[in-house]
Structure 1
Amino acid sequence: MVGLARSVAAAALLLSMTALGHAADRVIIVLDASGSMWAQIDGKPKLEIARESLRTVLQSVPADREIGFMAYGHREKGSCEDIELIVPPRAGSADAISTAADNLKFLGKTPLTAAVKQAAEALKYTEDKATVVLITDGLETCGGDPCALGKELKAAGIDFTADVVGFGLTADEGRQVACLAENTGGKYIQASDEKALQDALAETVAAPAPEPAPAPQPAPEPAPAPEPAKPEFNFTPTVVLAEGGDPLTDGNAWEIYKAMADGTRGDSVATEYGAYKGNLEPGDYIVVARIGEAKAEQKIKIEAGQVYKPLFTLNAGTLIIHPRPSEGADVADGAAVVIAYPGADMPATYYGDTKVVLPAGDEKVTVTIGQGVATETIPLAAGRVIDKDIIVGVGHVVANAYYTAGGDKADGSGIGFKVLKAKKKIDGTREEVTYAYGPDSKFDLPPDDYVMAATVDLAVVEQPFSVKVGEHQDLKIAMNAGVLAITAPGTSKIEIFEARKDIKGNRKSLGYAYDEKYQAALPAGDYVVVSEKSDNSRKEGTVTVKAGERAELTVQ
């Protein structure tokens, strides 16, 4: 009896430890917020599709599911460190995640490997069960190795899984990130449009935790004799880029609709991907095969007992564009690549390196980098792949203002730069090219002669400069200015005038503030400061501002 009691106690303790050992079902969603998410699918930016899909799917997340939200590339252009855990994993976080996604800016690079590792560490993957769901529309651009990371996390984790959703990736691109999921025992899901993205999120984020295995059932009765075998599938379509080409089995989509009596599309039946095989109920359908910007459509009549194997020919090719500012320069990630392809209702826009399937014909490609624009018409034959650099031909300029040559750099809020054409128009004015604000303002400009109008508060200086293709230059503009700090206790307005009067005895007003204190940069020189109180009484003070120095004046 003592032995039996000990056995019962040990079993109870083991059951208790097992129940406590199950970690909470905790997930972090990692969203690609790089600049390429401005690209469109069916006329809608990917970033809007991602926001709406997250909002929709998160409403069906089980209440006890602890979900967090991380993004990368949403705060800085060109930074591989721009990774942020915005919503820590917790139950009931759906609204917080939707709000965070709505407020994201999409403008940076793609450090997806580092982001997944940070998410795993935030989930304490070496101590508890952890899942990371990565949504990316691009490949690693910061030197990380997603395949190696997958092996590392699986080896060190207690029960770690990474699921990867390739949003708009091609088959070749998908294979380069699918290994991250496969090496952790997770899933790679290809999503080419909004419905596919929602389905992928529902499968990875909103799916309920696995139910306990059911109790063993009694052995079934012997099965009756098998009936004659029926075809497993009655609809197995094939799609090719060109006649005689190899079938496409990845990155392509199948849209299946009911056919209306007049031959138009009715309700959507399904959207499938890749090498699709399925069973359709007898009836009339319209089937659209699609990849990239190319598509082909057929009307199909399904009859009972028949197998259909239609061939769809897209009459399309693949165009790969590398936008570069100059010969031999790196690809410009922020370059806009606009393609007007045959049959398009409106041009498609991509960013940076671009690879897309297009209907055969003349493709008008326009690449914009800063103020530089290059347009080429590229003939594309069905089944062909054209890999091409497009050189925009710009130079890169970084502008800064300094109070004096070799002196302190101006870094306040009142800094602005305006690029003007050096050649004046017939009325004596110059054509404005572009502008920017703040220190280290960057410009990509076509080769030409220009004038940079730099502004620091009330000081304005123009400096000519020239741009050559491929040239990088730092434009340092000496403002010959100082800073004037004014204090006028009890006043309602402070106004700064030039000390010199014009022929009518009037002074030129340079700037004013409705406050007791006013500070601004001014060109070196003599000034008169007038303070005005609410009773209209006025007082004056004079001051000399020296270049590169601070002057202080009290008017009372």
Structure 2
Amino acid sequence: MRLRFALAAGLMTMAASVIPSLAADRAIVVLDASGSMWAQIDGVPRITIARQTIKEVLGRLPAGLELGLMAYGHREKGSCQDIETLVPPAAGSAAAISAAVDRINPKGKTPLSAAVKRAAEELRYTEEKATVILVTDGIETCDADPCALANELEKGGVGFTAHVVGFGLTEEEGRKVACLAENTGGMYVQAGDGNALSEALATTVAQASQPAAKPTPAPAPAPEPAAPEYNFAPVVIMAEGEDPLPGNAGNAWEVYRANADGSRGEYVSTDYGNSWKTSLEPGKYVVVARYGEAGTEQPVTIEAGKLTEPLFVLNAGTLIVRPLAIPGGEPVDGAAVNLVYPGGETTTYGQATFITPAGEQKLNVRIGAGEVTETVVVNAGDTVTKDVVVGVGRAVTNAAYVPGMKVEDGGLFLEILKAAKKLDGSRGSVVSAYGPDSAHEVPPGDYVLHARIGETDAETPFSVKVGETTDVEVVLNAGVLAISAPGAHSIEILGAKKDIQGKRKSFSYSYGEEFQTTLPAGDYVVVARQLNDDAGKEAEAKVSAGERTETAVALP
């Protein structure tokens, strides 16, 4: 919890040294309520620490200070307009602010620039002195430039000042928001942990304790050589002797501190593009370059005052896979393309472009039930386009009660089976689906379509040719039997004809007073039973193909 108390000290130092000097001036605390505020420090969510810290600061502020509270990201996810003034600036607002922070539920984005600007406008910064204290645990996520905003507020304001508390920010993230304070004459306090915050306050409190009026600038010292904007500018190429990738190639850079044995240590950052440049602290690093499925890493040493420009060679090539249903056809969007490359495996759909390590690549392409496996060699720096022809036809499957009367019920089950039977007499399943008009890509050959709905099933043979569509329909020779038996506990449907043992075949059984199912055309006996009545009451029913039969059973 040292961070919370240090943060409280930082805020109180700001309030004591800056705000009181403004006497009756007005200020707004802008609180980050984005989803990341649920992250924990020493087991305590950041939002909980912020609530407690703000309450502690409020208890020590001058009673006459006109202080308000604004929050962003607390009402909806993904919105850059989720900014709300929870408590307008007013004297004696401590109790209202305390209650407001307790109601905040972090969940959204981080529109910190828009929030600071809105706070400045509510404080009438172009007419009166105004102070904004921003508490944020993240950087801008809504396509705004905090530094440009700071310059705008500084130029247009009568006496505008922004103070920023970077709550849990890294050093690099802190640099992206510190300009809000630096460009308006305010303070930036980085609260990475309790010790770091204490050190930061040691250097900023003295300046913050000075009167709020901005001093007259001292004569500029003699110009010194400008510090370089960056000291690390890596470049990646596909193969030896090739040109660098374009700046917008989308390649990734991962930076790690190096362990004593040269292996990857603490993670530092991830960035993108072949035009990426940055400044790293002097020391030893391991840098990983990735592009598509290819990657390479090497040690990098950063020395003070020197520019390091390492070259990364991916030793990779480009493989373009075009999955085709038939020779000369167009790539199939839904085709599954699986690539096993040196060092890994990946799957995508439709025409695919892979950046892959040089070497032998194994391709498996599936279109519907059709599947082909091929091998291709990609050399470093080469681009290989590979057409993979799966060779399938299309089967559109349906079922009909009688010829010309298609089953439209979604409970219809259709399954394509291989025509050749196994040794045990069964057939292998190729593909299945529910509902009418089921379309499937299958390899050429002989098949059987099996259809089932209710208590009826039937099958029919068919064949498929490459590149052709085959319409297949199974005729069920069936109808629908609807039974009503008020007061019944269960309903059973039996065949009308008894076997040699005098027993009837049971076709279906259901609980309740009503039952409907599909049955092969023929004669049946319906038995409706009440609870604890095994005998029940019988009624005869005749089902005709393509027709609906309704039967009522009257129970005592």
Query: TM-score under structure 1 normalisation?
Result: 0.63
Offset of residue 333 of structure 1: 2.2
The one-character-per-residue Cα deviations of 1:66-117 (angstroms, maximum 9, x if unpaired) are: 6669xxxxxxxxxxxxxxxxxxxxxx998699xxxxxxxxxxxxxxxxxxxx
Q: Is the 8 A contact 2:74 2:106 kept in 1?
A: no
Q: Is the 8 A contact 2:394 2:468 kept in 1?
A: yes
The yes-or-no answer on 1:455 pairing with 2:395 is no
Q: Is the 8 A contact 2:75 2:108 kept in 1?
A: no
* Structure 1 unaligned regions, length at least 5: 1-51, 70-91, 98-128, 130-198
Offset of residue 240 of structure 1: 0.2
The yes-or-no answer on 1:372 pairing with 2:354 is no
Q: Which residue of 1 aligns with 2:293?
A: 293
* Partners of 1:545 and 1:93 in 2: CA distance: 63
The one-character-per-residue Cα deviations of 1:176-198 (angstroms, maximum 9, x if unpaired) are: xxxxxxxxxxxxxxxxxxxxxxx
Deviates more, 1:490-499 or 1:216-225: 216-225
- Relative to structure 1, the CA distance from residue 292 to residue 534 in structure 2 (aligned partners, 3 Å threshold; closer, same or farther) is same
Offset of residue 332 of structure 1: 2.4
Q: Which residue of 2 aligns with 1:322?
A: 322
Please give the secondary structure, in 2, of the residue aligned with 1:213. helix
- Relative to structure 1, the CA distance from residue 469 to residue 341 in structure 2 (aligned partners, 3 Å threshold; closer, same or farther) is same
- Relative to structure 1, the CA distance from residue 474 to residue 306 in structure 2 (aligned partners, 3 Å threshold; closer, same or farther) is same
Offset of residue 439 of structure 1: 1.9
AA in 1 matched with 2:417: L
* Partners of 1:511 and 1:283 in 2: CA distance: 78
Q: Which residue of 1 aligns with 2:52?
A: none
AA in 2 matched with 1:384: D
* Partners of 1:517 and 1:277 in 2: CA distance: 74
- Relative to structure 1, the CA distance from residue 452 to residue 278 in structure 2 (aligned partners, 3 Å threshold; closer, same or farther) is same
Q: Is the 8 A contact 1:417 1:454 kept in 2?
A: yes
The yes-or-no answer on 1:233 pairing with 2:243 is no
The structure with more radius of gyration: 2
AA in 2 matched with 1:524: A
Deviates more, 1:376-385 or 1:398-407: 398-407
AA in 1 matched with 2:303: E
Offset of residue 328 of structure 1: 3.7
Q: Is the 8 A contact 2:77 2:108 kept in 1?
A: no
- Relative to structure 1, the CA distance from residue 319 to residue 230 in structure 2 (aligned partners, 3 Å threshold; closer, same or farther) is same
Q: How many residues align?
A: 379
Root-mean-square deviation (CA, aligned residues, Å) is: 3.3
* Structure 2 unaligned regions, length at least 5: 1-34, 40-45, 48-70, 80-103, 115-137, 160-213
AA in 2 matched with 1:410: V
* Partners of 2:410 and 2:489 in 1: CA distance: 23
Q: Which residue of 2 aligns with 1:313?
A: 313
AA in 1 matched with 2:262: G
AA in 2 matched with 1:403: Y
* Partners of 1:298 and 1:450 in 2: CA distance: 56
The yes-or-no answer on 1:481 pairing with 2:491 is no
The one-character-per-residue Cα deviations of 1:283-310 (angstroms, maximum 9, x if unpaired) are: 1100111101111111112222222211
The yes-or-no answer on 1:336 pairing with 2:336 is yes
AA in 2 matched with 1:357: I
AA in 1 matched with 2:141: A
* Partners of 1:526 and 1:207 in 2: CA distance: 82
Offset of residue 381 of structure 1: 0.7
Deviates more, 1:483-492 or 1:206-215: 206-215
Q: Which residue of 1 aligns with 2:392?
A: 394
Q: Which residue of 1 aligns with 2:153?
A: 213
Q: Is the 8 A contact 2:232 2:280 kept in 1?
A: yes
* Partners of 2:426 and 2:78 in 1: CA distance: 55
Deviates more, 1:204-213 or 1:330-339: 204-213
* Partners of 2:241 and 2:142 in 1: CA distance: 36
The yes-or-no answer on 1:533 pairing with 2:472 is no
Deviates more, 1:269-278 or 1:321-330: 321-330
- Relative to structure 1, the CA distance from residue 493 to residue 252 in structure 2 (aligned partners, 3 Å threshold; closer, same or farther) is same
Q: Which residue of 1 aligns with 2:414?
A: 417
* Partners of 2:294 and 2:432 in 1: CA distance: 39
Q: How does 1:44-193 map to 2 (within 5 A)?
A: 62-63=72-73
AA in 2 matched with 1:469: V
Q: Among the aligned pairs, what percent are the same residue?
A: 49
Q: Which residue of 2 aligns with 1:117?
A: none
* Partners of 1:354 and 1:295 in 2: CA distance: 19
- Relative to structure 1, the CA distance from residue 466 to residue 209 in structure 2 (aligned partners, 3 Å threshold; closer, same or farther) is farther
Q: Is the 8 A contact 2:75 2:107 kept in 1?
A: no
Please give the secondary structure, in 2, of the residue aligned with 1:454. strand
AA in 2 matched with 1:317: G
* Partners of 1:293 and 1:445 in 2: CA distance: 31
* Partners of 2:529 and 2:236 in 1: CA distance: 80
Q: Which residue of 2 aligns with 1:464?
A: 461
* Partners of 1:472 and 1:520 in 2: CA distance: 32
* Partners of 2:462 and 2:296 in 1: CA distance: 53
The one-character-per-residue Cα deviations of 1:322-376 (angstroms, maximum 9, x if unpaired) are: 22222344432222111100122xx211122211200000110111122111111
- Relative to structure 1, the CA distance from residue 208 to residue 365 in structure 2 (aligned partners, 3 Å threshold; closer, same or farther) is farther
